[in-house]
Amino acid sequence: MSNRHTIRLPADLPYDPLRGALYTRDELMAGWPGETLDVRIQRHVLDNGFRSPPVDEALAQRLHDHHVDAALSAFLCAERDWRRCHRQLLADVVRQGVADGSVRPAANPAAAASVGAIPRGN
């Protein structure tokens, strides 16, 4: 007796669960002003269980989201190994600096946030 299982994904999906790239604006908006891919995917998700889809649909959605997330990470950080990404390296330096006392939190966090390029909400 085999312990192997087969995962069967629905055949009529409006998206590719194994997509390895981000969508382009042209792909998502093809068909405008009529029905676009973005609208077809949204309707499919809503019509197939939304937050509690059947297992095969849930697996297809999660696989799709995983692959698009990986593509987004690759787009945001060109390093093949995420541990070499400058964001991760910077976080490691700050974490170590806080641990050894060489980096201290700002005395006035609101003033420190105003120095950055991204405005901080109230």
Half-sphere exposure of 98 (CA within 13 A, CB side): 7
Q: Which has more pLDDT, 89 or 56? A: 56
For the chain, domain boundaries:
16-87
Which pLDDT tens digit goes with each residue over 73-90? 777 776 667 666 766 666
70 half-sphere exposure, CB direction, 13 A CA radius? 12
Burial class (CB in 10 A: 0-12, 13-18, 19+), 61: buried
Q: What is the pLDDT of residues 5-47, one digit of tens each?
A: 888 899 999 999 999 899 999 999 999 999 999 999 999 999 9
pTM of the model: 0.60
Q: What per-residue confidence (pLDDT) applies to 95?
A: 72
Tokens (6 digits) for 65: 């989201």
